[in-house]
Structure 1
Amino acid sequence: MSEQTLTLKQSGVRWLWLAILIFVADIGIKLVIMNSMGYGWENRVEVLPFFNLLYVHNYGAAFSFLSDEEGWQRWLFTAIAFIVTAMLTYWMSKLPAKEKWNNIAYALIIGGAVGNVFDRVVHGFVVDYLDVYWGNYHWPAFNLADSAICIGAAMIILDAFRKKPEKA
Protein backbone atom coordinates (compact mmCIF):
# COMPACT_ATOMS: atom_id res chain seq x y z
CA MET A 1 0.00 0.00 0.00
CA SER A 2 1.48 3.34 -0.98
CA GLU A 3 2.12 6.09 1.57
CA GLN A 4 -0.27 8.44 -0.28
CA THR A 5 -3.12 5.88 -0.15
CA LEU A 6 -2.53 5.37 3.55
CA THR A 7 -2.59 9.14 4.07
CA LEU A 8 -5.92 9.46 2.22
CA LYS A 9 -7.42 6.65 4.31
CA GLN A 10 -6.37 8.46 7.46
CA SER A 11 -7.65 11.84 6.26
CA GLY A 12 -11.12 13.32 6.40
CA VAL A 13 -11.65 12.31 2.76
CA ARG A 14 -12.87 9.01 4.24
CA TRP A 15 -16.03 10.93 5.20
CA LEU A 16 -16.98 11.56 1.56
CA TRP A 17 -19.24 8.48 1.83
CA LEU A 18 -21.63 10.77 3.73
CA ALA A 19 -21.61 13.29 0.86
CA ILE A 20 -22.40 10.47 -1.57
CA LEU A 21 -25.24 9.26 0.67
CA ILE A 22 -26.75 12.78 0.83
CA PHE A 23 -26.41 13.16 -2.95
CA VAL A 24 -28.04 9.80 -3.74
CA ALA A 25 -30.88 10.33 -1.24
CA ASP A 26 -31.50 13.87 -2.51
CA ILE A 27 -31.63 12.86 -6.18
CA GLY A 28 -33.77 9.81 -5.38
CA ILE A 29 -36.33 11.85 -3.45
CA LYS A 30 -36.42 14.49 -6.20
CA LEU A 31 -37.08 11.82 -8.84
CA VAL A 32 -39.94 10.38 -6.77
CA ILE A 33 -41.43 13.86 -6.32
CA MET A 34 -41.09 14.75 -10.02
CA ASN A 35 -42.65 11.47 -11.14
CA SER A 36 -45.48 11.25 -8.61
CA MET A 37 -46.69 14.80 -7.88
CA GLY A 38 -48.33 17.48 -9.93
CA TYR A 39 -46.36 20.70 -10.28
CA GLY A 40 -47.16 23.75 -8.18
CA TRP A 41 -48.57 24.91 -4.87
CA GLU A 42 -52.10 23.88 -5.76
CA ASN A 43 -50.96 20.23 -5.87
CA ARG A 44 -49.34 20.23 -2.43
CA VAL A 45 -49.97 17.34 -0.07
CA GLU A 46 -50.71 18.31 3.51
CA VAL A 47 -48.68 16.09 5.84
CA LEU A 48 -48.85 17.93 9.17
CA PRO A 49 -50.52 21.17 10.33
CA PHE A 50 -47.22 22.97 9.59
CA PHE A 51 -45.72 20.88 6.77
CA ASN A 52 -46.58 20.10 3.14
CA LEU A 53 -44.96 18.16 0.33
CA LEU A 54 -45.04 19.83 -3.06
CA TYR A 55 -43.16 20.01 -6.35
CA VAL A 56 -41.77 23.38 -7.45
CA HIS A 57 -38.78 24.63 -9.45
CA ASN A 58 -36.20 27.06 -8.08
CA TYR A 59 -34.16 28.84 -10.75
CA GLY A 60 -32.19 30.80 -8.16
CA ALA A 61 -30.25 30.01 -5.02
CA ALA A 62 -31.36 30.00 -1.40
CA PHE A 63 -34.74 31.68 -0.91
CA SER A 64 -35.04 31.92 -4.73
CA PHE A 65 -32.24 34.51 -4.81
CA LEU A 66 -31.79 35.71 -8.43
CA SER A 67 -34.52 33.35 -9.69
CA ASP A 68 -36.02 36.07 -11.90
CA GLU A 69 -32.83 36.52 -13.93
CA GLU A 70 -32.43 35.27 -17.51
CA GLY A 71 -30.48 32.07 -16.84
CA TRP A 72 -26.90 33.21 -16.26
CA GLN A 73 -27.33 32.54 -12.52
CA ARG A 74 -27.57 28.82 -13.24
CA TRP A 75 -23.92 28.76 -14.28
CA LEU A 76 -22.79 31.16 -11.55
CA PHE A 77 -24.28 28.95 -8.84
CA THR A 78 -22.86 25.84 -10.52
CA ALA A 79 -19.37 27.37 -10.56
CA ILE A 80 -19.66 28.45 -6.92
CA ALA A 81 -20.73 24.93 -5.92
CA PHE A 82 -17.76 23.37 -7.74
CA ILE A 83 -15.33 25.81 -6.08
CA VAL A 84 -16.80 25.22 -2.61
CA THR A 85 -16.80 21.44 -3.14
CA ALA A 86 -13.15 21.48 -4.21
CA MET A 87 -12.17 23.71 -1.29
CA LEU A 88 -14.00 21.58 1.30
CA THR A 89 -12.60 18.34 -0.16
CA TYR A 90 -9.11 19.82 0.08
CA TRP A 91 -9.72 20.82 3.71
CA MET A 92 -11.00 17.30 4.43
CA SER A 93 -7.77 15.89 2.99
CA LYS A 94 -5.84 17.94 5.56
CA LEU A 95 -7.98 16.87 8.54
CA PRO A 96 -7.55 13.54 10.29
CA ALA A 97 -10.47 11.14 9.79
CA LYS A 98 -11.03 11.10 13.56
CA GLU A 99 -11.96 14.83 13.45
CA LYS A 100 -15.61 13.85 12.97
CA TRP A 101 -17.37 17.18 13.57
CA ASN A 102 -15.75 19.18 10.76
CA ASN A 103 -15.55 16.24 8.36
CA ILE A 104 -19.28 15.59 8.80
CA ALA A 105 -20.04 19.31 8.32
CA TYR A 106 -17.96 19.46 5.14
CA ALA A 107 -19.47 16.23 3.79
CA LEU A 108 -23.02 17.50 4.38
CA ILE A 109 -22.26 20.70 2.46
CA ILE A 110 -20.56 18.81 -0.37
CA GLY A 111 -23.42 16.31 -0.72
CA GLY A 112 -26.02 19.07 -0.74
CA ALA A 113 -24.08 21.26 -3.15
CA VAL A 114 -23.54 18.40 -5.61
CA GLY A 115 -27.23 17.41 -5.35
CA ASN A 116 -28.36 20.91 -6.30
CA VAL A 117 -25.68 21.22 -9.01
CA PHE A 118 -26.96 18.00 -10.55
CA ASP A 119 -30.41 19.58 -10.80
CA ARG A 120 -29.07 22.82 -12.28
CA VAL A 121 -27.05 21.02 -14.94
CA VAL A 122 -29.62 18.33 -15.84
CA HIS A 123 -32.89 20.26 -15.44
CA GLY A 124 -31.89 23.94 -15.48
CA PHE A 125 -33.49 24.42 -12.05
CA VAL A 126 -33.42 22.92 -8.56
CA VAL A 127 -36.35 20.74 -7.49
CA ASP A 128 -37.80 21.83 -4.14
CA TYR A 129 -40.41 19.80 -2.31
CA LEU A 130 -40.51 20.68 1.40
CA ASP A 131 -42.90 23.39 2.59
CA VAL A 132 -42.80 24.42 6.25
CA TYR A 133 -45.25 27.07 7.42
CA TRP A 134 -46.83 28.80 10.39
CA GLY A 135 -50.31 30.18 9.86
CA ASN A 136 -50.20 31.92 6.48
CA TYR A 137 -46.41 32.38 6.47
CA HIS A 138 -44.61 29.80 4.34
CA TRP A 139 -40.86 29.39 4.57
CA PRO A 140 -39.45 29.24 1.02
CA ALA A 141 -39.70 25.68 -0.34
CA PHE A 142 -36.51 23.66 0.02
CA ASN A 143 -35.11 20.12 -0.31
CA LEU A 144 -32.80 17.61 1.40
CA ALA A 145 -29.72 19.13 -0.26
CA ASP A 146 -30.60 22.58 1.12
CA SER A 147 -31.12 21.06 4.58
CA ALA A 148 -27.74 19.29 4.46
CA ILE A 149 -26.00 22.52 3.42
CA CYS A 150 -27.65 24.48 6.25
CA ILE A 151 -26.87 21.84 8.87
CA GLY A 152 -23.24 21.63 7.70
CA ALA A 153 -22.88 25.42 7.75
CA ALA A 154 -24.41 25.58 11.25
CA MET A 155 -21.95 22.92 12.41
CA ILE A 156 -19.04 25.00 11.09
CA ILE A 157 -20.34 28.09 12.91
CA LEU A 158 -20.87 26.11 16.13
CA ASP A 159 -17.35 24.72 15.83
CA ALA A 160 -15.99 28.24 16.19
CA PHE A 161 -17.51 28.29 19.68
CA ARG A 162 -16.46 24.79 20.73
CA LYS A 163 -13.64 24.50 23.21
CA LYS A 164 -10.65 22.91 21.52
CA PRO A 165 -8.29 20.65 23.47
CA GLU A 166 -4.99 22.30 24.36
CA LYS A 167 -2.08 21.22 22.16
CA ALA A 168 0.98 20.14 24.10
Structure 2
Amino acid sequence: MVAAVVIVLDQWTKHIAVTELVFRNPYPVTSWFDWMLTYNTGAAFSFLADAGGWQRWFLSAVAGAVSVFIVVWLFRLAPEDRVLVTPLGLILGGGVGNLIDRINLGHVVDFISWHYHGWYWPAFNVADAAISVGAAAALWIALLGSSPQEAIPANDASRSE
Protein backbone atom coordinates (compact mmCIF):
# COMPACT_ATOMS: atom_id res chain seq x y z
CA MET A 1 0.00 0.00 0.00
CA VAL A 2 2.83 2.40 0.87
CA ALA A 3 4.54 1.69 -2.45
CA ALA A 4 1.31 2.30 -4.39
CA VAL A 5 0.77 5.67 -2.68
CA VAL A 6 4.36 6.71 -3.44
CA ILE A 7 4.05 5.67 -7.11
CA VAL A 8 0.77 7.56 -7.60
CA LEU A 9 2.01 10.69 -5.80
CA ASP A 10 5.32 10.58 -7.68
CA GLN A 11 3.75 10.21 -11.12
CA TRP A 12 1.09 12.83 -10.38
CA THR A 13 3.62 15.44 -9.22
CA LYS A 14 5.88 14.70 -12.19
CA HIS A 15 2.92 15.17 -14.54
CA ILE A 16 2.22 18.56 -12.96
CA ALA A 17 5.90 19.52 -13.24
CA VAL A 18 6.11 18.55 -16.92
CA THR A 19 2.88 20.34 -17.85
CA GLU A 20 3.26 23.47 -15.70
CA LEU A 21 7.00 24.22 -15.47
CA VAL A 22 9.41 25.44 -18.13
CA PHE A 23 12.55 23.31 -18.50
CA ARG A 24 15.42 24.63 -16.34
CA ASN A 25 13.50 27.81 -15.52
CA PRO A 26 13.30 28.07 -11.71
CA TYR A 27 10.00 29.02 -10.13
CA PRO A 28 10.98 30.40 -6.69
CA VAL A 29 8.95 29.23 -3.70
CA THR A 30 11.25 30.53 -0.95
CA SER A 31 14.76 32.00 -0.84
CA TRP A 32 16.14 28.44 -0.64
CA PHE A 33 13.59 26.34 -2.56
CA ASP A 34 12.46 26.36 -6.22
CA TRP A 35 10.31 24.27 -8.49
CA MET A 36 12.55 23.60 -11.49
CA LEU A 37 11.92 21.04 -14.21
CA THR A 38 14.98 19.06 -15.21
CA TYR A 39 15.71 15.60 -16.57
CA ASN A 40 18.24 13.09 -15.28
CA THR A 41 19.41 10.32 -17.61
CA GLY A 42 21.66 8.93 -14.88
CA ALA A 43 21.20 7.66 -11.35
CA ALA A 44 21.40 9.56 -8.05
CA PHE A 45 23.37 12.82 -8.31
CA SER A 46 23.40 12.34 -12.13
CA PHE A 47 25.81 9.41 -11.86
CA LEU A 48 26.27 7.98 -15.40
CA ALA A 49 24.19 10.81 -16.91
CA ASP A 50 26.71 11.31 -19.73
CA ALA A 51 27.30 7.61 -20.41
CA GLY A 52 25.88 7.66 -23.92
CA GLY A 53 22.48 5.99 -23.56
CA TRP A 54 23.27 2.44 -22.43
CA GLN A 55 22.65 3.51 -18.82
CA ARG A 56 18.89 3.78 -19.47
CA TRP A 57 18.50 0.02 -19.79
CA PHE A 58 21.22 -0.84 -17.28
CA LEU A 59 19.65 1.35 -14.58
CA SER A 60 16.19 0.05 -15.52
CA ALA A 61 17.40 -3.54 -15.10
CA VAL A 62 18.99 -2.72 -11.73
CA ALA A 63 15.82 -0.95 -10.53
CA GLY A 64 13.66 -3.84 -11.73
CA ALA A 65 15.86 -6.43 -10.01
CA VAL A 66 15.94 -4.45 -6.76
CA SER A 67 12.15 -4.03 -6.90
CA VAL A 68 11.63 -7.78 -7.32
CA PHE A 69 14.06 -8.42 -4.46
CA ILE A 70 12.14 -6.03 -2.18
CA VAL A 71 8.76 -7.60 -3.06
CA VAL A 72 10.12 -11.07 -2.25
CA TRP A 73 11.68 -9.73 0.96
CA LEU A 74 8.36 -8.15 1.99
CA PHE A 75 6.52 -11.45 1.54
CA ARG A 76 9.14 -13.33 3.54
CA LEU A 77 9.39 -10.92 6.46
CA ALA A 78 9.15 -12.57 9.84
CA PRO A 79 6.46 -11.14 12.15
CA GLU A 80 9.09 -9.44 14.32
CA ASP A 81 10.48 -7.67 11.23
CA ARG A 82 7.15 -6.16 10.08
CA VAL A 83 8.46 -2.76 11.19
CA LEU A 84 10.39 -2.79 7.88
CA VAL A 85 7.21 -2.82 5.77
CA THR A 86 6.91 0.98 5.58
CA PRO A 87 10.59 1.72 4.85
CA LEU A 88 10.72 -1.04 2.23
CA GLY A 89 7.44 0.21 0.74
CA LEU A 90 8.92 3.70 0.43
CA ILE A 91 12.03 2.34 -1.31
CA LEU A 92 9.95 0.11 -3.60
CA GLY A 93 7.52 2.89 -4.53
CA GLY A 94 10.32 5.33 -5.25
CA GLY A 95 12.23 2.82 -7.31
CA VAL A 96 9.20 1.91 -9.39
CA GLY A 97 8.25 5.58 -9.82
CA ASN A 98 11.64 6.37 -11.31
CA LEU A 99 11.64 3.11 -13.29
CA ILE A 100 8.38 4.16 -14.98
CA ASP A 101 10.05 7.41 -16.09
CA ARG A 102 13.24 5.73 -17.23
CA ILE A 103 11.41 3.15 -19.37
CA ASN A 104 8.77 5.51 -20.81
CA LEU A 105 10.84 8.69 -21.20
CA GLY A 106 14.49 7.63 -21.20
CA HIS A 107 15.15 9.88 -18.21
CA VAL A 108 13.81 10.67 -14.76
CA VAL A 109 11.81 13.86 -14.23
CA ASP A 110 13.17 15.97 -11.36
CA PHE A 111 11.60 19.21 -10.19
CA ILE A 112 12.49 19.97 -6.55
CA SER A 113 15.50 22.26 -6.20
CA TRP A 114 17.07 23.31 -2.89
CA HIS A 115 19.84 25.89 -2.71
CA TYR A 116 21.65 28.12 -0.27
CA HIS A 117 23.90 31.07 -1.15
CA GLY A 118 24.86 29.73 -4.56
CA TRP A 119 25.16 26.10 -3.45
CA TYR A 120 22.62 23.83 -5.15
CA TRP A 121 21.58 20.36 -4.06
CA PRO A 122 20.90 18.15 -7.11
CA ALA A 123 17.26 18.41 -8.22
CA PHE A 124 15.09 15.50 -7.12
CA ASN A 125 11.50 14.26 -7.04
CA VAL A 126 9.00 12.50 -4.76
CA ALA A 127 10.39 9.07 -5.67
CA ASP A 128 13.92 10.13 -4.71
CA ALA A 129 12.66 11.52 -1.40
CA ALA A 130 10.77 8.28 -0.66
CA ILE A 131 13.86 6.19 -1.41
CA SER A 132 16.00 8.38 0.85
CA VAL A 133 13.53 8.39 3.75
CA GLY A 134 12.90 4.64 3.38
CA ALA A 135 16.62 3.83 3.29
CA ALA A 136 17.31 6.05 6.31
CA ALA A 137 14.45 4.45 8.26
CA ALA A 138 15.57 0.92 7.34
CA LEU A 139 19.13 1.76 8.38
CA TRP A 140 17.86 3.25 11.65
CA ILE A 141 15.87 0.09 12.38
CA ALA A 142 18.77 -2.18 11.43
CA LEU A 143 21.29 -0.32 13.58
CA LEU A 144 19.23 0.90 16.52
CA GLY A 145 16.02 -1.10 16.56
CA SER A 146 12.54 0.17 15.89
CA SER A 147 12.18 2.03 19.18
CA PRO A 148 14.43 3.75 21.73
CA GLN A 149 13.75 0.90 24.18
CA GLU A 150 15.28 -1.59 21.72
CA ALA A 151 18.30 0.60 21.09
CA ILE A 152 19.14 1.13 24.78
CA PRO A 153 17.87 -1.59 27.12
CA ALA A 154 16.63 -0.15 30.42
CA ASN A 155 17.74 -3.13 32.50
CA ASP A 156 20.33 -5.34 30.86
CA ALA A 157 20.53 -8.52 32.97
CA SER A 158 23.77 -9.59 31.29
CA ARG A 159 25.63 -6.65 32.86
CA SER A 160 24.38 -7.17 36.43
CA GLU A 161 26.68 -10.10 37.19
Contact 1:44 1:53 in 2 (8 A): yes
2:105 aligned residue: 123
Local SS of the residue matching 1:117: helix
User: Closer, same or farther in 2 for the Cα pair 1:160/1:74, shift >3 Å?
Assistant: same
**2:10 is aligned with 1:30:** no
Does residue 71 of structure 1 match 2:53? yes
The answer to whether the 8 A contact 1:105-1:152 is kept is: yes
**Aligned partner of 1:114 among 85, 88, 96:** 96
CA contact (8 A) 1:19 1:107 kept: yes
For these two proteins, the number of residue pairs brought into alignment is 148
User: How far, CA to CA, are the matches of 1:156 and 1:72 in structure 2?
Assistant: 31
1:48: Cα distance to partner?
Answer: 1.1
Q: Would you identify which runs of 4 or more consecutive aligned residues in structure 1 move more than 4 Å? A: 96-100
In the alignment, does 2:34 pair up with 1:52?
yes
CA change 1:31–1:100 in 2 (3 A) is: same
| Separation of aligned partners in 2, 1:101 and 1:149 | 16
CA distance in 2, matches of 1:127, 1:97: 37
Identity of aligned residues (%): 35
Amino acid at match of 2:129: S
Counterpart CA distance in 2 for 1:130 and 1:95 is 34
Query: How far apart are 1:94 and its partner, in Å?
Result: 1.2
RMSD: 1.7
Q: Return 5+ residue gaps in structure 2 as ranges.
A: 151-161
Aligned residue number for residue 158 of structure 2: none
Larger Rg, first or second structure (1 or 2): 2
Aligned mates of 2:22, 2:32 — CA distance in 1:
20
Give the match's secondary structure for 1:68.
coil
In structure 2, C-alpha distance between the alignment counterparts of 1:57 and 1:161, rounded to whole Å: 35
Unaligned runs of 5+ in 1: 1-16
Contact 1:101 1:155 (C-alpha < 8 Å) held by counterparts: no
Cα distance, 1:83–1:133 mapped onto 2, change above 3 Å: same
CA shift, 1:163, in A, is 3.8
Q: Is the 8 A contact 1:58 1:127 kept in 2?
A: yes
